[in-house]
Every structure is written in C-alpha cells, then in structure tokens.
Amino acid sequence: MARITRSVDFSLKGYLLQAYLIGRNASGTDSPIKGELIKFNKGLGSHGNRSKSGMVAAIMADSAKLTLDGNEYELPIVVGSENEKAIDIGKLRAESGYVTIDGGYKNTGACYSSITYLDGEQGILRYRGYAIEDLAEKAEFLEVAYLIIYGTLPTPTEYDTFKKDIRRHSIIHEDMRHFFDGFPSSGHPMSILSSMVCSLSAYYPDSLDADPTDDLQITRLLSKIRTIVAFGYKKSIGHPAMYPRNDLSYCGNFMHMMFANPAEPYEPDPEIVKAINTLLILHADHEQNCSTSTVRLVGSSNANLYAAVSAGILALWGPLHGGANQAVIEMLQEIQDSGGDYKGFMEKVKDKSSGVRLMGFGHRVYKNYDPRAKVLKAMADKLLPHLKVEDPLLDIAKNLEAIALEDPYFVQRNLYPNVDFYSGIVYRALGIPVNMFTVMFALGRLPGWIGQWREMMQDPGRKIGRPRQIYTGENARAFVSLADR
Ligand code: CMC
C-alpha cells in the first residue's frame, strides 16, 4: 500500500519562494530562503533581446514522503512561479521499481514552461504574463507570436525586423504549388495542411537539423503556412491561386490570398482583418494541450520543426480538440435542420446512452467560463451586425448556452462554453468554409507550437519523450507452429 505525506505550508512557502524568484531575477544572486533552484531556462535565440525570456521556471521546495512495501522514498516538491505545485517523481522507478499511471495525463506535468499560464478554476489565461483579454484587444497577432516564441513583446525595431523576415518568405516553392493538383478537391484541408507543412522539410533540408536558434525556419513556417492554407482553399473551389501581397499585413495578406481573384480589385475589410487578428491571438497558445504535447513529443526525438508541427496539426484535427469548432457548427446546423428543437437536443446530451455531447462545451482544464469564449461571444455580437449577417445558428447557440448554465447536469460537472463554441459562428460570418475552421485554429496555434518546441529544444535537461506502461497481456508462453494451431 502506498502512502504519500507532506508537511509544507504551500501558500506561505509559495509566497517566500516567489520573493526568492524576484530577488534572483533582479540581482542575479542566490537567496538564503530554503529551496533549491532546479531550472534556469535561458533563451538562446539570436533575435534582439530574446535572452530576456530566460527566467526561473520552478524551484524545489521540501519534499513528499512515499511509503511503498515498507520503504520510505523522499520525493521533491516543485513550485512554479504562480505557486503551482508538483511532486517530482523523476527518480521513482530507479529507486523503487514503481512507475505511476495516469490515463489521459490528467495529473501529470510533462515539462516546465514559462510561456502560458492557465488557471482553469478561475478562468485565467495569460501568455508570458499578459492577460489574453488585453492581448486580444490591443496587440497584433505577429507581436503575440514574437512574445510567445521569444519571451518578450518586441521593441519597434525588433518587430520591424520580424515582420520583414516574415514578409520575405510568403511565397512557397513553385513545385509545391503542384502538390495541390494531386489532392482531390474534396480532400479535408487539415490533411492537406499537415502534408504540406511536413513537405517543407523536403524543400528546406537545412531545417532537418532541428536547431531552435535558427530563426529562419521559424519565420519561413509562420509565413508560408498562410499561403499553403489559402492555395489549398483556392484549389478546392477551382479558383486560381492568388500570390501573396507583401504590402498587406499578415492577416490582410491572408484574406487577400483567400478571397481576392485576379479579375477584380480587392482590399480586405479592416474590420474583418481585425477579427482574424483577434481570432488568431485567442488561439495562439494553450500550454500542454493534445496537439502541443504532440509537437513536443515528436520534437523530443530531434525530428525537425516542420515534422513536429505537422504532427501537431493532425492531433488538433480531432473533434475533441480543435476539430470541435467544425463539429459545433455541424451540431447547430443539425438542430436547425430538424426544426430548431434545442431543448430536445439538450435532453439527448444529458442521456449518456445517446453518446451525444454538447460540442464546444467542457474542457479538461477550464472548470469555469473559458476567457476566450467570452471574447468570441462579444465579437460575434459586434461583428455579425457589421457584416449584415443574421445567423440563426447564433441564436441556437445562445439558447443552448442559457440552458446549460442553469442545468444541474452541466453545473455539477463545471461544463462551460470553450473557445470552439462561438468561434465557428464568427468564421462562418467571415466567409470561411466550415471544413476550414480547424485550419484557422492551426494558423493561430502555430506560434504556440513553435514556442513550445523551441523552449523544449533549449532545455539542457531535455529527454526523448517515452512514457512507461503497465503490461496487461499474456505471460510468457511457448510458440505454437502454424500446423498445430
Ligand atoms: N457534453 C456533455 N457532457 C460532457 C461534455 C459535453 N461537451 N464534456 C464533458 N461531459 C461530461 C462527461 O460525460 C463526464 O460526465 P461523467 O462524469 O458523468 O462521466 C464529465 O462531463 C467529464 O468529462 P470528461 O470527458 O471526463 O472530461 P475530459 O476532461 O476528459 O474531456 C473534453 C474534455 C473537452 C474532451 C470534453 O469536455 C468534450 O468532449 N467536450 C466536447 C468537445 C469539445 O468541445 N472540445 C474542444 C475543447 S476546447 C478546444 C481545445 O483546446 O481543443
């Protein structure tokens, strides 16, 4: 029987240790407060002041005791900069022979990270300390991308250089353009996106090195992904590809490649560009979710950035993850097509035997209203009238939400709207086809995947990701030859 005890006053210790962190950052000297610094994450990049991203990620503070088969093991306790606590089991198997098991990694911290802080109970989301609400309202997507990847908001000079680098790489290799001819026009854009991103590594063999200090592969990817997405869309509707216009902003250029055609002039609507900018910021990172963990896992083998991101795109595709935005609209459409009986639909959701879920609701980490969903709901209310779009699906969504926020089934399980509940309504209003919603999510999440990959690759203690298992199969048995079976 295993027993874990610990006797640390976390709130007090956390407070003191925070003071220690600040003291260390400011003066660069050690503090006498008990607790051992366990990680310094130095930003190694070459771009401007990126080294400022280096910060103390966590410290070791006291320990927990685990009793197993009569032996006592001391397990270090680590505390993050927001007082998040963990028991470090890094030496557990070597010392005791035991591993831990945690289906879905619900209790497992896989890394230290200084990129995103998420408090699911309070509904707080911050990138590098900045509130998502502030960034969504005041920042440009590329500023946020820089922040996530390199650790600080760029200075004007750094931002100019970053944008210039990104602009320069907007065109894809002409041979790659022919790939789109090989895909069926009905092919799902996520499969095309993943294949195309992976094939960038064939065109840029220098990226095979998986070097996190090589900014070129990062800017290339940030720039070309828009072109890939837009070319794929144009191909699917039988329109000629629109080449990028580098005089436009990042989001404006994307809109141009998506919606312009060679026969007419096109200037992107600033309100639409702003909306796309905000949507991308809201999706830019979300700490160790399924796709980001996939990027880290693939990257941990030293596979190149494009391969790791391509794998992340595929993980995002699933309807329990980024694919939920498409699933939400399909669900709302189905309710509308069957006469708009949203109350009856909610009864089905609560009946577990139906297997029906309220898509866009619930989250592994948020047990409160997803702050991104709040921004998106307000955006839908403002943007749809501006675009003169009346979408009956928005009313259905609001009705479903109103029921869910009162219904004990949802209240008891802390199920609230997540980022995908309203994003699809906004994408629809912007003219983005439903099967491209998850592609838009990927476009937004790219800086997060890159930043998390880069952080991992710069971690001097990095190890290949390789979980253990508890084997439940047959014990050793003799081989039976084919004739005797
Ligand atoms: N509709 C109905 N019941 C739900 C829902 C839902 N959307 N989500 C969770 N539940 C119930 C679930 O049946 C379970 O009930 P019980 O305790 O009686 O067995 C309880 O709530 C806990 O659910 P869970 O599946 O154990 O929770 P999880 O943390 O493993 O899953 C989730 C999280 C997001 C996969 C899940 O809430 C879900 O399937 N939601 C719908 C899909 C969705 O919107 N996904 C987008 C997530 S946000 C974007 C992103 O970052 O990917």
Task: Report pLDDT digits (tens) over 322-377.
Answer: 999 999 999 999 999 999 999 999 999 999 999 999 999 999 999 999 999 999 99
Examine the domain organization and report whether 97 and 216 are in the same domain: no
399 within some domain: yes
Pocket test for ligand 1, best of 368, 415, 438, 452 (most atoms within 8 A of CB): 415
340 within some domain: yes
Please state the domain count of the chain: 2
> What CATH number does the domain containing 432 carry?
1.10.580.10
Please report where in the chains the tokens 């795109």 appear, as a residue: 313
Q: Which of 41-50, 192-201, 221-230, 258-267 has the lowest mean pLDDT?
A: 41-50
Q: What is the pTM of this model?
A: 0.88
Given 363, 370, 391, 459, which residue is catalytic?
363
pLDDT score of 274: 96
Comparing 42 with 329, the larger pLDDT belongs to: 329
Is residue 34 pLDDT above 90, yes or no?
Answer: no
Residue 320 CB–ligand 1 contact under 6 Å: yes
Examine the domain organization and report whether 10 and 49 are in the same domain: yes
Examine the domain organization and report whether 63 and 147 are in the same domain: no
481 within some domain: no
Known catalytic membership, residue 420: yes
Residue 47 CB–ligand 1 contact under 6 Å: no
Given 370, 391, 420, 459, which residue is catalytic?
420
Known catalytic membership, residue 363: yes
- Binning pLDDT at 50, 70 and 90, where does residue 62 land? confident
d(CA 469, CA 84): 26
Examine the domain organization and report whether 10 and 158 are in the same domain: no
Examine the domain organization and report whether 69 and 156 are in the same domain: no
Examine the domain organization and report whether 58 and 186 are in the same domain: no
Q: How far is the CA of 121 from the centre of ligand 1 (A)?
A: 15
Residue 380 CB–ligand 1 contact under 6 Å: no
93 within some domain: yes
Q: Tell me the per-residue pLDDT of 241-273, one tens digit each, with 9 for 90 and over.
A: 999 999 999 999 999 999 999 999 999 999 999
226 within some domain: yes
Query: Residue with the nearest Cα to atom 30 of ligand 1?
Result: 364
Amino acid in position 365:
V
Residue 357 CB–ligand 1 contact under 6 Å: yes
Q: How far is the CA of 360 from the centre of ligand 1 (A)?
A: 9
Q: How far is the CA of 447 from the centre of ligand 1 (A)?
A: 26
Residue 413 CB–ligand 1 contact under 6 Å: yes
Q: Which of 109, 142, 175 is the last residue of a domain?
A: 109
Residue 286 CB–ligand 1 contact under 6 Å: yes
121 within some domain: no
Examine the domain organization and report whether 40 and 174 are in the same domain: no
Examine the domain organization and report whether 182 and 80 are in the same domain: no
| Residue 92 lies in domain | 3-109
Closest atom, ligand 1, to C-alpha of 316: 52
- Check: CB of residue 115 under 8 Å from CB of residue 285: yes
264 within some domain: yes
